[in-house]
Amino acid sequence: MAPYLSDNTTSDTNSDSHEAYLKAPDFQNFDNPPRVLVIGAGSRGTAYAEAALEGTNTIIAAVCEPIHSKREAFGKRFIWTGKWPAQPGQHFFDWQQWVEWEEERREDEVRGRVREPGIDAVFVCVLDEMHEEVVCGIAHLGVHICCEKPLSTRLESCIRMYKALKYAKKSNDTVGGKKEPIFGICHVLRYSPHNMLLRHLVRDKNVIGDVLSIEHCEPVGWWHFSHSYVRGNWRKESTSAPSLLTKSCHDIDFLMWMLCTPSSSTSTPHLPSHITSTGSLKYFRKSHKPAAAGSATNCLSCAHESSCSYSAKKIYLDKHLAKGNADWPVKIVNSEIEDIYKTQGAEAAKSQLLADLAEDYDVSTPLGVRNKRNYFGRCVWDSDNDVCDDQMVTLSWEDDGEDARRGAKTALFHMIAQTEKQCERRGRIYGTKGEIEYDSTTISIHDFATNKTTRHVPHAAGGGHGGGDAGLARQFLMAVNAVDSGDMRTYEAQRAFLGCDLEEAFRSHAVVFAAEDARVQRLVVDWETWWKENVESQLAS
């Protein structure tokens, strides 16, 4: 991706060797703004709609969402603002309904009938396990697609999506004059000003010489992990996926981007040679349940609740709703609470929240019922969660042989739940000429030769993931505009604006699945062999 420059990166010492880097670019005013459909009006769909409108003159044209209240709230905010009722083609119950509408609209256009304009690009923001059916179900329409991470929850599913998208690209490049569509994956860590500067310093400026090793950590956050991965949607591998995929697939992608992705579009990626991983569910299990909790399985009926850090009442009521926050994570407990807070007041919202937190299950509750919903008042040590709360992954590279700068190196990733920091990544990069220490706000470079340390503070972009959400949405839409306007071919726009294509997005997911095989089977995975056995054989079928 071509970086953009700024004048507001600061350093603790004067340095003429690095550009001031990565201020958010000016508002993107497209001559023919892309018309966007958002499938899934939850927190991620909302985040990308916000980012699209804050950074561009894109038109959020339609939404697909089965929950009426969420669909209406999204529409009022982004689509039919101040106008009611919504017009035909602006909202749909689900993606299938939209596909039927779009196919009929196109047929009418062919017959010369005047119809509403169509959709140019789609943000897929449904639950992880639904990504395959949506992406494969809309690929034939040839629209540009940006899919929330992860691509899907199983390797076989990712492969089917890859094949469907590749077929769509080939078809749309040759049939009816359609342009090959852009594909984006929401690996948002690539698009924050902090991380883009970090990669620029390491890969383009070579400030620490050749990279020998990286230690990268994602501190999930103690209560955040309990919310999403003990009580929430991503608590079980059988209904979701391993936490390495659902929480940290973009951290693995970050490491591949730093060490594997070529800076030049003509270069080949330097792929890892071996992968290992260890990890388990260490803390959120029944053996750690406080004795004072006794047989209680719900916070609101537990004698230990007032002394418990993981009390649902403390987390959702005291920490958030009582302080005026009815947004995430409160609205995840019940999507109606935010509206109740606005229309009926704080006490009504509190009553609804406590009623929701009191809901529980027991041995008589059918497994299918439990798996289809979340119980946010459930005891974190007496839940049905099974995903890792502590995991390490090691990626090893061998000497390239042909390129001296592509030497042997190692990347160590650590995902840990019990942390004060919440998703504020940190790490160290060790090179032949120096060392870098980074967190989510600063980058410190120590030069061995001069014994000096330079500290950079990149532009602090707003929004989620340090500006990564906004960066991803903007870059995707700029790629869409470049292709639809005829300024670039698709492969050029993919590299110029997204810095990533379908193959690279798929490969970083495959690394996650290989790491999980290494962890579960206690193996040292040979990447080339694993790829041939698990991916190439299926791609060929």
**DSSP, residue by residue, 412-444:** EEEEESS-SSSS--EEEEEESSEEEEE-SS-EE
The whole-angstrom distance between residue 213's C-alpha and the CA centroid of its chain comes to 25
pLDDT at 395: 98
Residue 133 lies in a domain: yes
Same domain? 232 vs 119: no
Average pLDDT over the chain, rounded to an integer: 91
Residue carrying the six token digits 């992705």: 261
Residue 197 lies in a domain: no
pLDDT tens-digit readout, 526-538: 999 999 999 998 8
pLDDT at 18 over 50: no
pTM: 0.92
pLDDT at 12 over 60: no
Of 68-77, 119-128, 217-226, the one with minimum mean pLDDT is 68-77
Phi and psi, residue 291, nearest 5°: -60, -35
Same domain? 325 vs 234: no
Same domain? 98 vs 220: no
Query: For residue 19, what pLDDT band results from cuts at 50, 70 and 90?
Result: very low
pLDDT at 3: 39
CATH of the domain at 166: 3.40.50.720
CATH of the domain at 401: 3.30.360.10
Residue 15 lies in a domain: no
Do residues 503 and 9 make contact, with C-beta atoms less than 8 angstroms apart? no
Same domain? 70 vs 90: yes
pLDDT at 155 over 90: yes
State how far the Cα of 199 lies from the Cα of 195, in Å rounded to an integer. 6
Burial (CB count within 10 angstroms: exposed 0-12, middle 13-18, buried 19+), residue 184 = buried
State how far the Cα of 257 lies from the Cα of 250, in Å rounded to an integer. 10
pLDDT tens-digit readout, 439-496: 989 999 999 999 999 999 987 666 666 678 999 999 999 999 999 999 999 999 999 9
Residue 99 lies in a domain: yes
Q: Parallel, antiparallel, or unpaired for β 525-526 and 211-219?
A: unpaired
pLDDT over 90 percentage in the chain: 82
pLDDT tens-digit readout, 99-108: 999 999 999 9
The 3-state secondary structure of 174-238 reads HCCCCCCCCEEECCHHHHCHHHHHHHHHHHHCCCCCCEEEEEEEEECCHHHHHHHHHCCCCCCCC
| One-letter identity of residue 15 | S
Same domain? 234 vs 269: yes
Region 209-234 average pLDDT: 97
Residue 218 lies in a domain: yes
**DSSP, residue by residue, 469-507:** HHHHHHHHHHHHHHHHTTSS-HHHHIIIIIS--HHHHHH
Query: For residue 434, what pLDDT band results from cuts at 50, 70 and 90?
Result: very high
pLDDT at 195 over 90: yes
Do residues 55 and 244 make contact, with C-beta atoms less than 8 angstroms apart? no
Domain interval for residue 91:
30-188+470-499
Same domain? 366 vs 236: no
Same domain? 59 vs 142: yes
pLDDT tens-digit readout, 280-318: 999 999 999 999 999 999 999 999 999 999 999 999 999
Same domain? 57 vs 129: yes
pLDDT at 265: 60
State how far the Cα of 289 lies from the Cα of 453, in Å rounded to an integer. 46
Residue 539 lies in a domain: no
Region 373-383 average pLDDT: 97
The count of structural domains within the chain is: 3
Same domain? 279 vs 295: no
C-alpha distances in Å from residue 480, one per residue of 32, 161, 468: 11, 20, 18
Same domain? 126 vs 177: yes
pLDDT at 262: 74
Residue 1 lies in a domain: no
Same domain? 231 vs 137: no
Residue that wins the pLDDT comparison between 456 and 8: 456
Residue that wins the pLDDT comparison between 506 and 85: 506
pLDDT at 13 over 60: no
CA 148-520-245 angle, to 5 degrees, is 10
pLDDT at 498 over 90: yes
pLDDT tens-digit readout, 179-193: 899 999 999 999 999
Same domain? 391 vs 526: yes
pLDDT at 40 over 60: yes
